[in-house]
């Protein structure tokens, strides 16, 4: 049987097509504000880390993360700041820190763990660090947390 | 937990849906094929009795009307049939099931069908971004439909009727659950006002709900009073007036058991009881699948990863052992639960038993009442509730 028909872009023939952007609430902030926020948060994260306050740094960076189109710079700034936090945490402290996050923060952190795994080549990406955070987070937040990374259209 | 669940292995193929008759002594299921099979209860076992063959593609949903003893089936062939039990013309003492065609007017698969509470209408959800509301046209002896189209943007995966026979909830692959009016002039009397509104011409949109983490809405359900709507979506959450995210795999089906309780089931292979109210919030109370019932196998919080197949590989890896156990899950259902439905309904509308059908070919009847014991013992399990 011919399978060529599977390649036809049927959405092009449909005037009432459902767009990706209609599946989530757009970020109310404009891209400049988002970028300024991200820069500010990065600075806060660095100062928290210098005081060895991992939990505080995570709280800052996991609050209202940038998502949606046109904020790529803010997204990569946030990812880098987050990777910095992950890399400067002692393995034995991870579980305790994760337990204090609320469910929104856990879901957001899981998004960044997967984003990190998908960003090979970035200087700060350390596979074994990401995997140990992932293991601990799955133990605490469950598989539902991973499922939500897949369903949530507000990609970070 | 009180009585253990009754387990029936009806087939070795997935049961995509099931429905009991009013007296619970007959049952109709779809074995993921073009035919629906009626089973009859004989000495505690279910025996195939009759096959309803008319569809020419896979049957997606079945509902057996408890008041009128009519079965409605719908299928990927874009058709629905209403089956009535009539005397066989050749031997009048025998009863046979006779199909009546429904004019659905949809050009994609029909996905889900449910009789309205009075069983004078039924709703067929479809991949055509529409829901067909069907009522009987006695002049032509067939069922005619009226389509609910707006504002549905994608395949409708499930529907549920409000007890007033007019309002309909619909869950859709565009990540929204909606409450719509399915008022048909010749069938319905003017409904009394509800929390969803008072003026309800056909296709009135009374509400549209989503949740931030998104995901297809697999299942919707009105509470027995019709005042509260709950829906299960693919982000492993149940949404009432609040959004309850769980640590398990997504739920695909749910049914209310009382005004404060509902049971959801799905990819996690076990029915889960939620309780709560608008004031106190909602939370998971227990799995109906009692962990202590069969053996004591070590459970990990990483749920489904910790099944026997996983352990077998782990043992082979760490000890070079080749374990000889089967790849069974530690739940009663061995695969995704496709449908959970009320089985025993009390006079006050509360449900004391529910039935589930699964991809593992099993039909299971679970006790709900008395199913809220030992909450303290269960809370420790919630994190690792996926599996024993």
Read off the pLDDT of each residue in B333-339 and give the average, rounded to a whole number. 95
Q: Is residue A107 part of a domain?
A: yes
Whether the per-residue pLDDT at B385 is higher than 90: the answer is no
Cβ A151–B246 below 8 Å, yes or no? no
Query: What is the CB-side half-sphere exposure of residue B134 using CA atoms within 13 A?
Result: 28
Q: Is residue B133 part of a domain?
A: yes
Model confidence at B372, pLDDT cuts 50, 70, 90, reads very low
Cβ B236–A143 below 8 Å, yes or no? yes
pLDDT for the residue B159: 98
Read off the pLDDT of each residue in B188-208 and give the average, rounded to a whole number. 93
Answer whether the bond into residue B326 is a cis peptide, omega within 30°: no
Q: Is residue A65 part of a domain?
A: yes
pLDDT for the residue B306: 56
Of residues A152 and B319, more confidently modeled: A152
Chain A CB contacts of B175 below 8 Å: 23, 153
Q: What is the pLDDT of residues B301-316, one digit of tens each?
A: 344 555 666 666 666 6
Q: Is residue B217 part of a domain?
A: yes
- What HEC string does B221-275 produce? EECCCCCCEEEEECCCEEECCCEEECCCCCEEEEEEEECCEEEEEECCCCCEEEE
Q: To probe the interface with B, which of A20, A21, A143, A149 has the most B CB atoms within 10 Å? A: A143
Q: What is the dihedral of CA B243, B247, B250, B252, to 10 degrees?
A: -70
Q: Is residue A24 part of a domain?
A: no
Model confidence at B388, pLDDT cuts 50, 70, 90, reads very low
CA dist B132 and B147 (Å) reads 5
A131 at the B interface (CB within 8 A)? no
Q: Which of B214, B216, B301 sits opposite A152 (nearest CB)?
A: B214
State percent of chain B over pLDDT 70. 85
On whether the CB atoms of residues B222 and B231 are closer than 8 A, the answer is no
A16 at the B interface (CB within 8 A)? yes
Q: Is residue A145 part of a domain?
A: yes
Whether the per-residue pLDDT at B268 is higher than 90: the answer is yes
CA dist B364 and B355 (Å) reads 6
Tokens representing B156 are 């409708």
B214 at the A interface (CB within 8 A)? yes
Q: How many domains does chain A have?
A: 1
User: How far is the alpha carbon of B291 from chain A, nearest alpha carbon, in Å?
Assistant: 18
Look at residues B123, B241, B128 and name the one whose alpha carbon lies nearest to residue B177.
Answer: B241
A26 at the B interface (CB within 8 A)? no
User: How far is the alpha carbon of A14 from chain B, nearest alpha carbon, in Å?
Assistant: 12
User: CA of B107: how far to CAs of A72, A152, B35, B217, B262, in Å?
Assistant: 41, 30, 21, 22, 34
A/B interface, count of CB pairs below 8 Å: 75
pLDDT for the residue A122: 82
Cβ B302–A141 below 8 Å, yes or no? no
Tokens representing A80 are 């880098």
pLDDT for the residue B320: 60
Cβ A18–B237 below 8 Å, yes or no? no
Look at residues B76, B63, B79, B68 and name the one whose alpha carbon lies nearest to residue B28.
Answer: B63
On whether the CB atoms of residues B216 and B175 are closer than 8 A, the answer is yes
On whether the CB atoms of residues B354 and B335 are closer than 8 A, the answer is no
CA dist B379 and B230 (Å) reads 23
Chain A CB contacts of B234 below 8 Å: 147, 151
Cβ B302–A143 below 8 Å, yes or no? yes
User: CA of B32: how far to CAs of A64, B5, B39, B179, in Å?
Assistant: 44, 24, 15, 29
Query: What does the DSSP assignment read for A43-71?
Result: HHHHHHHHTT-HHHHHHHHTSS---STT-
Q: What is the dihedral of CA B372, B375, B381, B382, to 10 degrees?
A: 70
Q: Is residue B1 part of a domain?
A: no
Of residues B204 and A21, more confidently modeled: B204
Q: How many domains does chain B have?
A: 1
Q: Is residue A104 part of a domain?
A: yes
pLDDT for the residue A1: 78
Look at residues B144, B143, B176 and name the one whose alpha carbon lies nearest to residue B157.
Answer: B176
CA dist B189 and B210 (Å) reads 31
Look at residues B177, B161, B166 and name the one whose alpha carbon lies nearest to residue B201.
Answer: B166
Chain A CB contacts of B302 below 8 Å: 138-139, 143
Dihedral sign, Cα of residue B45, residue B293, residue B283, residue B239 = negative
Taking only residues 116 to 135 of chain B, the set having a beta carbon closer than 8 angstroms to any beta carbon of chain A reads 129
Read off the pLDDT of each residue in B250-266 and give the average, rounded to a whole number. 96
Of residues B144 and B93, more confidently modeled: B144
CA dist B54 and B73 (Å) reads 10
Q: What is the CATH number of the domain that holds A54?
A: 1.25.40.190
Q: To probe the interface with A, which of B130, B245, B266, B299 has the most A CB atoms within 10 Å? A: B245
Given the DSSP bridges, would you call strands B17-20 and B243-245 parallel, antiparallel or unpaired?
unpaired
On whether the CB atoms of residues B28 and B12 are closer than 8 A, the answer is no
pLDDT for the residue A136: 96
A103 at the B interface (CB within 8 A)? yes
CA dist B236 and B240 (Å) reads 14
Q: What is the CATH number of the domain that holds B132?
A: 2.130.10.10
CA dist B284 and B271 (Å) reads 11
State percent of chain B over pLDDT 90. 73
Q: What is the pLDDT of residues B85-111, one digit of tens each?
A: 999 988 888 899 999 999 999 999 999
Cβ A151–B304 below 8 Å, yes or no? no
Read off the pLDDT of each residue in B374-386 and give the average, rounded to a whole number. 39
On whether the CB atoms of residues B21 and B65 are closer than 8 A, the answer is no
B235 at the A interface (CB within 8 A)? yes
Q: What is the pLDDT of residues B278-293, one digit of tens each?
A: 888 899 998 998 755 4
Given the DSSP bridges, would you call strands B261-266 and B251-258 parallel, antiparallel or unpaired?
antiparallel
Q: What is the pLDDT of residues B109-143, one digit of tens each?
A: 999 999 999 999 999 999 999 999 999 998 988 99
What range defines the domain where residue B64 resides?
A: 6-384
Q: What is the dihedral of CA B275, B279, B280, B286, to 10 degrees?
A: 10
End-to-end CA distance of chain A: 41
Q: In what order do the strands lie in the sheet with B217-222?
A: B217-222, B229-233, B237-239, B243-245
CA dist B5 and B300 (Å) reads 24
Residues of chain A with pLDDT under 50: none
On whether the CB atoms of residues B16 and B75 are closer than 8 A, the answer is no
Q: What ipTM, to 2 d.p.? A: 0.87
Enter the DSSP assignment of B305.
G
Question: Which residues, including other chains, have CB under 8 Å from residue B86's CB and lie 6 or more apart?
Answer: B95, B96, B97, B98
For chain B, the helix, strand and coil percentages under 3-state DSSP, each to the nearest 5: 5, 45, 50
What range defines the domain where residue A126 resides?
A: 31-151
Q: Is residue A8 part of a domain?
A: no
Model confidence at B164, pLDDT cuts 50, 70, 90, reads very high
On whether the CB atoms of residues B246 and B203 are closer than 8 A, the answer is no
Q: Is residue A79 part of a domain?
A: yes
A139 at the B interface (CB within 8 A)? yes
Q: Which of A22, A142, A153 sits opposite B383 (nearest CB)?
A: A142
Residue that is written with structure tokens 């200087």 in the block: A123
Q: Which of A24, A143, A154 sits opposite B304 (nearest CB)?
A: A143
User: How far is the alpha carbon of B232 from chain A, nearest alpha carbon, in Å?
Assistant: 13
């Amino acid at each position: 049987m011919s399978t060529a028909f599977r390649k036809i872009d049927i959405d092009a023939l449909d005037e009432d097509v459902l767009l990706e952007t209609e599946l989530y609430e757009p970020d109310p902030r404009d891209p400049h504000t988002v970028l300024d926020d991200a820069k500010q948060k990065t600075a806060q994260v660095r100062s928290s880390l210098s005081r060895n306050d991992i939990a505080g740094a995570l709280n800052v960076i996991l609050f209202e993360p940038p998502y949606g189109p046109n904020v790529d710079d803010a997204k990569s700034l946030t990812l880098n700041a987050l990777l910095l936090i992950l890399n400067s945490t002692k393995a034995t402290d991870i579980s305790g820190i994760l337990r204090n996050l609320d469910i929104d923060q856990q879901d957001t952190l899981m998004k960044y763990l997967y984003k990190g795994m998908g960003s090979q080549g970035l200087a700060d990406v350390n596979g074994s660090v990401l995997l140990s955070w992932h293991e601990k987070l799955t133990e605490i937040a469950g598989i539902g947390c991973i499922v939500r990374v897949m369903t949530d259209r507000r990609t970070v | 937990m009180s009585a253990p669940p009754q387990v029936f292995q009806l087939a070795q193929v997935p049961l995509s849906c099931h429905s009991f008759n009013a007296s619970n002594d007959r049952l109709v299921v779809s074995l993921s094929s073009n035919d629906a099979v009626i089973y009859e209860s004989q000495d505690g076992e279910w025996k195939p009795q009759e096959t309803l063959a008319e569809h020419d593609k896979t049957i997606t949903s079945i509902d057996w009307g408890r008041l009128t003893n009519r079965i409605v089936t719908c299928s990927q062939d874009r058709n629905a049939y209403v089956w009535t039990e009539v005397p066989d013309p050749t031997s009048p003492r025998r009863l046979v099931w006779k199909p009546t065609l429904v004019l659905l007017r949809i050009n994609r698969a029909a996905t889900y069908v449910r009789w309205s509470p009075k069983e004078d209408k039924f709703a067929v959800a479809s991949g055509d971004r529409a829901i067909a509301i069907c009522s009987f046209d006695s002049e032509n002896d067939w069922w005619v439909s009226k389509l609910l189209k707006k504002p549905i943007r994608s395949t409708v995966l499930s529907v549920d009727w409000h007890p007033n026979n007019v309002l309909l909830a619909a869950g859709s692959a565009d990540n929204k659950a909606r409450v719509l009016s399915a008022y048909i002039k010749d069938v319905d009397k003017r409904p009394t006002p509800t929390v969803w509104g008072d003026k309800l011409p056909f296709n009135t949109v009374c509400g549209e709900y989503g949740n931030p983490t998104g995901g297809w809405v697999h299942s919707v359900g009105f509470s027995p009073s019709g005042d509260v709507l709950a829906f299960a979506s693919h982000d492993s959450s149940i949404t009432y007036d609040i959004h309850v995210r769980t640590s398990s795999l997504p739920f695909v089906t749910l049914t209310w058991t009382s005004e404060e309780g509902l049971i959801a089931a799905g990819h996690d292979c076990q029915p889960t009881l939620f309780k709560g109210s608008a004031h106190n919030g909602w939370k998971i109370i227990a799995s109906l699948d009692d962990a202590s019932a069969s053996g004591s196998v070590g459970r990990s919080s990483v749920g489904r990863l910790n099944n026997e197949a996983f352990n077998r590989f782990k043992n082979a890896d760490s000890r070079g052992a080749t374990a000889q156990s089967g790849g069974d899950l530690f739940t009663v259902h061995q695969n995704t639960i496709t449908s959970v439905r009320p089985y025993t309904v009390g006079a006050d509308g509360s449900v004391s038993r529910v039935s589930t059908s699964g991809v593992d070919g099993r039909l299971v009847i679970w006790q709900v009442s008395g199913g809220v014991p030992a909450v303290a013992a269960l809370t420790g399990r919630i994190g690792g509730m996926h599996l024993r």
